[in-house]
Amino acid sequence: MDMVEKGAQNTEQRFNVMSHQLVPTHVLLTDKEEQEVLAKYRTSKDCLPKIKRTDPCVQSLEAKAGEEIRRGRIIRIIRKSETAGIYITYRTVVD
């Protein structure tokens, strides 16, 4: 089997990063949810932590949604924490 065939085979058997137990839940917010979050925390998208569009979790969300996630969208990240129970954070998508 040559390198081209191996590459094609690996693409089909790609690892789903979102199914890994150490990866927190990522949720793409709707425009309405984005406005509610920004109002609740009295902040702007520029003040939120960033996440790159090349991040495997963002790419997985794009595949699930069937569309490109544009720059400036907000993603909710839900982590399980031994001390806090559930910890929610928000990130703005950047290029």
**Domains along the sequence of the chain with CATH:** 23-94 (3.90.940.20)
Interatomic CA distance for residues 59 and 8, integer angstroms: 19
Q: How confident is the model at residue 7 (pLDDT cuts 50, 70, 90)?
A: very low
Contact indicator for 16, 60 with CB cutoff of 8 Å: yes
Give the predicted TM-score (pTM) of the model: 0.78
CA dihedral 65, 90, 95, 23 (to 10 degrees): -70
pLDDT tens per residue across span 8-36 = 444 455 677 777 777 899 999 999 999 99
Q: Distances in Å between the alpha carbon of 79 and those of 3, 7, 93?
A: 39, 34, 18
Residue 5: per-residue pLDDT: 44
pLDDT tens per residue across span 63-86 = 888 889 999 999 999 999 889 899
Contact indicator for 88, 76 with CB cutoff of 8 Å: yes
